[in-house]
Structure 1
Amino acid sequence: MTGITALKTDRRSFFHRLARSASFPLVLLAACLLWLEDWLWEPLAQLMQRLGRLPLLCRIEALIRAAPPWLALACYGIPMLVLLPFKFAGLWLFARGHFLFGGGVFLLAKIAGTAVAAHLFTLTRASLMKLAWFARLYAGFMKLRDYAYCRVRRNRLWRLTRIGRWRLGRKLRSLA
């Protein structure tokens, strides 16, 4: 290997390592948001399912389940778009220094959006998966989510935190 080739390889590996380490906080933030959504998904879907037992909502849900793919997409997407301004308002308030109020607005919009999305996705999933582009997008999203989780789990600080939490739990159990 010539000196110039070795220098180019070293420079590429340096920039690659720099990009990977600089991107980790963004991956961590994305993983935290995805984890929050995953954590809330099932309980909120069950809560919405209980609300769906009301007679009027039961009839509406039956119509949504029977909807063709494009109508199912509208039924799934429109409520998410309605909640988007509230999320932006929460972020705007947060950026303006109203940390508690802005964070609260954003968090409430996120929880409401997750509850509605979880329930509507349960109702429309079979129909939505008939749209080839949606099925590919969903598969890609799941791969991206798994990548973010895997990257965070491989991080040394994450592993040390998990080990510390495990040791603390063991010590607390031994005291009880």
Structure 2
Amino acid sequence: MNRALARLGRGLRAVAGVPVVLLILFEEWGWRPLSRALGRLARWPPIARLEDRLRQVPPPIALALFLTPTLGLLPVKLLALWLVHAGQAGLGLALIVAAKLLGTALLGRLFVLTEPQLRHYRWLAHALDAWSAYKQRVKAWWRSTAVARAATRVAAAWRQLWRRWRARRCG
């Protein structure tokens, strides 16, 4: 009986782990690159000054700013749903994707700029630390799987092919 429960528990953890792995992949391949891309705008002096001011805001304002992109893009997403309802499914879907990308980029950039202020909230600092530790454990588990090792080999082969192709084309 105990073995059956242990197997069931492992199976449930594996199934529940899929959304977590997807969330971590989104963070690694979505949040961070989009935030860095948006950060390139900081080379423009007005944006650089704005970012400097954002780094100085007190914790309550940092928290409010951090929530702003989510709330600010809600009307855009509702418009996208209306477009889908009105028979403009492609346009509505494109608007949802654009809003998601923009919202993710803004949220990521705001987090980078205001993380020290946000960490003044002990509950948030604890949650961020716990998430980071959990994420490291999930990444270590993922890297140990045969699927991840195979995907790494395939990605390395594609990168090598890409480099050869570019060397021939550009060189």
TM-score higher than 0.5 here? yes
- The structure with the largest alpha-carbon Rg is 1
The 1:23/1:108 distance shift into structure 2, 3 A limit, reads farther
1:130 is paired with a residue whose SS is coil
Change (3 A) 1:123 1:171: closer
Q: Match of 2:104?
A: 114
Which of 139, 144, 148 in structure 1 is aligned with 2:138? Answer: 148
1:13 matched to 2:3? The reply is yes
Higher mean C-alpha displacement, 160-169 vs 48-57: 160-169
Contact 1:44–1:118 (Cα < 8 Å) also in 2: yes
Is the CA contact (8 Å cut-off) linking 1:27 and 1:152 kept in structure 2? no
Q: Give the deviation of 1:55 after TM superposition.
A: 5.2
CA RMSD, 1 decimal: 3.9
Amino acid of the structure 2 residue aligned with 1:143: A
Question: Which of 21, 34, 40 is equivalent to 1:31?
Answer: 21
Q: What residue ranges of structure 1 are gaps of 5+ in the alignment? A: 1-10, 92-98
Q: What is the TM-score with the length of structure 2 in the denominator?
A: 0.67
Q: Which runs of 5+ in 2 are unaligned?
A: 82-88, 164-171
How many aligned positions are there?
160
1:18 CA displacement? 1.8
- How far does the alpha carbon of each residue in 1:7-46 deviate from its partner, in whole angstroms, 9 at most, with x for none? xxxx233222222223323313321332232123443223
1:60 maps to what in 2? 50
How does 1:19-168 map onto structure 2 within 5 Å? 19-54=9-44, 56-83=46-73, 107-162=97-152
* Closer/same/farther in 2, CA of residues 170 and 47 from structure 1, 3 Å limit: closer
Q: TM-score, normalised by structure 1?
A: 0.65
1:65 is displaced (CA, Å) by 1.5
Alpha-carbon distance in structure 2 between the residues aligned to 1:26 and 1:103: 27
Identity across matched positions, percent: 28
CA positional deviation for 1:81: 3.7
**Relative to 1, partners in 2 of residues 1:167 and 1:85: Cα closer, same or farther, differing over 3 Å?**
same
Question: Aligned partners of 1:153 and 1:114: how far apart in 2?
Answer: 26
Residue 168 of structure 2 is matched in structure 1 by: none
Q: Report SS of the residue matched to 2:101.
A: helix
